[in-house]
Amino acid sequence: HWTVDVLINNAGFGTFGFLNEIDLEREIDMINLNVMNTYLLTRLFLKEMIERDAGQIINISSNSSFQPIPKMNTYASTKAFVTHFSRGLTEELKMMKSNIKVMTVCPAAIRDTAFKKVGKMEHVKTFDGLATTSTEEVGKDIWKGFLKGKDFVVIGKKMRFLYRIKWLIPYHLNQFLVRTEIKTN
């Protein structure tokens, strides 16, 4: 019988490597955590939020959800689900004229977190790349977005700039840049 005003779906992890080389059970665990738990927790608390016509859901996705990422294929796919699910729920709630807000958060690779160690990505270039962010920047941008009632937040000035121009870059060039970012040092 909890009343949840703000639900933050932030649990998740990634895997790295070619699809045929990554442990199948590890990837299934990641799909369950990144996709199923986000879905199930949202469903669990949404009903009561709808009854009260109040609440906020914050789903942490990733900039990886914007395009296919080789060697992080399944991770990026799970985050694409989170982005589309969250943005679709935003539209449903607007159609229902609901006061419930859903914020989709898409950070770039975050320096100095356990994420890269757990995913065996210590030597992946993206964690020292062009749009890398910090935990401080993530927290600051989420808080600003929350206070402004935003429904979509791309974390960090550099990543927001890249997100805006991404649509101007041909697909094959974009994917070349992605492959460059996921190289190992």
Catalytic residues: 75
For residue 47, how many C-alpha atoms fall within 13 Å in the half-sphere facing its CB? 7
Q: Which residue, 154, 64, 46, is CA-closest to 102?
A: 46
Q: Which residue, 162, 104, 152, is CA-closest to 132?
A: 162
CA dihedral 82, 58, 7, 137 (to 10 degrees): 120
Q: Which residue, 70, 47, 61, 49, is CA-closest to 5?
A: 49
**CB-based contacts of 16-23 (< 8 A; 24+ apart in sequence):** 16/71, 16/72, 16/75, 16/119, 16/120, 16/121, 16/124, 16/182, 17/71, 17/120, 18/71, 19/73, 19/74, 22/74
Judge contact between 59 and 146, C-beta under 8 A.
no
